[in-house]
Amino acid sequence: MSLREQVEELFAKGGEFSSTDREVFDAFKAALNRGEVRAAERGDAGEWRVNSWVKRGILAGFRMGALAEMSAHASLRFFDKDTYPVRATTIMDNVRIVPGGSSVRDGAYLAPGVVCMPPMYVNAGAYVGEGTMIDSHALVGSCAQIGKRVHLSAAAQVGGVLEPVGAVPVVIEDDVLVGGGCGIYEGTIVRAGAVLAPGTILTGATPVYDLVRGEVYRRTERAPLEIPAGAVVVPGSRAVASERGREWGLSLYAPVIVKYRDEKTERAVKLEDYLR
What is the model's pTM? 0.94
Residues 256, 211: Cα–Cα separation, whole Å = 7
pLDDT greater than 70 at residue 8 = yes
Strands 251-260 and 231-239: antiparallel
Residues 19, 40: Cα–Cα separation, whole Å = 28
Q: What share of the chain is helix, strand, coil (3-state, %, to 5)?
A: 20, 30, 50
Give mean pLDDT, residues 236-262.
95
The 8-class DSSP code of residue 88 comes to P
Per DSSP, the residues of 91-142 read GGG--EE-SSS-EEBTT-EE-TT-EEPSS-EE-TT-EE-TT-EE-TT-EE-T
pLDDT greater than 90 at residue 16 = no
pLDDT (tens digit per residue) in 104-155: 999 999 999 999 999 999 999 999 999 999 999 999 999 999 999 999 999 9
pLDDT (tens digit per residue) in 162-206: 988 889 999 999 999 999 999 999 999 999 999 999 999 999 999
Complete domains list, the chain, with CATH: 83-275 (2.160.10.10)
